[in-house]
Amino acid sequence: MGRLAIDPDAIRELARLLDETGLSEIEVGDGSRHLRVARGAAPMVVSVPAPTVDPTAAGQHAAADAAPAGTPVTSPMVGTAYLAPEPNAAPFVRVGDTVNEGQTLLVIEAMKVMNPIRAPRRGRVAEVRVASGSPVEFGEVLVVLG
């Protein structure tokens, strides 16, 4: 295992962003590396309403940790997933749809910015593993292309 090079300027910049935004933590990633900066505050319990299950997500796995049989499309960030461009609109894709490389599969909202998650290759949508409005983590499988 190689030694991790730490960039003090990057840490200072993230800490400054924490102060400016009032966030308690922030994480950025680039490929296989990522950096997380968090305040040393006491843990906080937050009550969040359960996300509504989108009927178009019929291909969701009951066991979210099961290994996908196909090409998994993972989340590049922490945020909130949305399967449609706006409430009550048709979803970007449905299970069974054929998608082209670069086509938007869903969006993730992070810090009030909508980030399109695009298909890495042409294929068929085999599974949608997230519900619209649900929180997602870095590296979480969102969609599986067959």
Could you state, in order of their start, the residue ranges of all structural domains in the chain? 8-38, 55-145
Q: Let me know: does 134 contact 80? Beta carbons within 8 Å.
A: yes
Which tokens go with 93?
Answer: 């894709």
Share of the chain above pLDDT 90, in %: 47
pLDDT digits (tens, 9 = 90+) for 64-117: 445 567 899 999 999 999 999 998 999 999 999 999 999 999 999 998 899 999
Which tokens go with 27?
Answer: 């994480």
pTM here is 0.56
pLDDT on residue 84: 94
Query: Token match 């900066």: residue?
Result: 37
pLDDT digits (tens, 9 = 90+) for 21-72: 776 777 777 666 667 777 664 444 444 444 555 555 544 444 444 556 789 9
Contacts (Cβ under 8 Å, ≥6 apart) of 29: 35, 76, 77, 138
pLDDT on residue 66: 56
Q: Let me know: does 17 contact 111? Beta carbons within 8 Å.
A: no
Fold designation for 55-145? OB fold (Dihydrolipoamide Acetyltransferase, E2P) (2.40.50)
Contacts (Cβ under 8 Å, ≥6 apart) of 108: 75, 76, 77, 79, 80, 81, 82, 114, 115, 117, 136
Residues β-bridged to residue 34 = 29
pLDDT band at 119 (very low <50, low <70, confident <90, very high): very high
